[in-house]
Every structure is written in C-alpha cells, then in structure tokens.
Amino acid sequence: MEMWFSELHTSNVKLSMRIEKQLFSGNSDCQRIDVLESVEFGKFLALDGDILFSEKDEFIYHEMISNVPMAVNPDIKKVLIIGGGDGGTAREVCRFKTVEQVDMVEIDERVVRLCQKYFPQTACALDNDPRINLIFGDGLKFVQDAPEGAYDLILVDSTDPLG
C-alpha cells in the first residue's frame, strides 16, 4: 500500500509526495505534528498539515533568516528567537562568535523535543551550545515583558500566518 502526504495550497492546488515512513504522528496542546520520510525530501516536519521544513532544504530558510540580519551588524551579542522550535535558526546564529546569548521562546515544547529526536542535524545547537536558553511559552508575552534594549537582534521564526 502506498501512503501519500498532501499539502493543500488552495482549493485547486496541492503538493503531494509519496511517504516512505511515518516516524511520528500526534497532537500537542497547540497543533498536530507529523514527522514523515519521503524519497525526494528525506525526513520532513508538518504542523497542522503544512510542511514546515525538510532535511533536504532546511538550510535555505535557516541561513537566510539568520545570516542576513547577522551580517548587517557584526557585533551582535544578544539574540532573541521567537519560535524556531526546529533549532535551525539557533544553529545558524550560534555560528557567529560574537553571539554571547540566544534566548529562544517556543510555544510548543513537543516540537522542540521531536526535532531533537528526528532532526539532530537541524536541532544540534539546542543540545550542544551553552549560549542557548530555551524558554517554553508565548513569544508575544515574552517580548512585551522584556526590558527595552535587552536584545541586539530579534528574529521571528514562526509558522506562516493564516487568514
């Protein structure tokens, strides 16, 4: 039996791919989480039916969201990442030696733990870099409560907004 994953883009467009293995499928308090493996993209993470990233192409997004703003100011020391549960943005930010502290505020701890388990090449810095401080909670509330000027750079690595 063949298994297929389809991501609906509009009522007339969808992306479908054949699945080799279903590695995880379940719900957190926030969303449905699927970790699947395909021939074309390798393992990929889907949240609420939308593909977040695949191991084949995750570097494109993570390098662009982090390296471009880091290049603008060569002396960034304190970074706040809102979201980023897969760990890729934190991994890229930690490549810069000027960075002393990375606070990553992720609402869904289960996403982080599953990425550490199934995507260790993406989440590697979350386990190995002492500059990273994982905070599980609401990113907007965290920013509202943070003192002004607490961070040199704030990156929002969240799912695409709907509606």
157 is known as an active-site residue? yes
Catalytic residue among 86, 103, 152, 157: 157
- Is-contact 28 36, C-beta < 8 A? no
Question: Catalytic site residues?
Answer: 157
